[in-house]
Amino acid sequence: MNTVLVVLILIVFAVAAVLALIRLVIGPSILDRAVAADVLLTEVVCILGADMVINQHTRSLPAMLVIAAIGVFGSIAVARFVARKENPR
């Protein structure tokens, strides 16, 4: 039962990652690519969290925090770039 659940989780994460990668490559705008990158980072955090639950450890917690911080700062940087590009002074 546990193995079937792990395989199902991996399949769902793989499909979501492929769809996010497609959106990251196709675009068409920088905002679409930024959202796709955020989705990918969120997926990585979810995969690490699922690994922690399945294997009953907390070693991945610092990596999850760093990845989450990178995602937040990246989103802020893209938003500032787009706002500056749309409203030049």
Q: Which one has a higher pLDDT value, 83 or 42?
A: 42
Please state the rounded mean pLDDT for residues 9-24: 93
Quick one: pLDDT at residue 1? Answer: 66
The pLDDT of residue 89 is above 70: no
* pTM over cut 0.85: no
8 A C-beta contact, residue 31 and residue 2: no
Task: Specify the higher pLDDT residue, 84 or 16.
Answer: 16
- Model confidence at 5, in pLDDT bands (50, 70, 90)? confident
- Cα 33 to Cα 1, 4, 9, 64, 82: the distances in Å are 37, 33, 25, 21, 12
Please tell me whether the peptide bond between 62 and the residue prior to it is cis, using omega within 30 degrees of 0.
no
- pLDDT confidence band for 6 (50 / 70 / 90): confident
Which residue in 7, 35, 31, 10 sits closest to 21, CA to CA? 35
SS3 56: coil
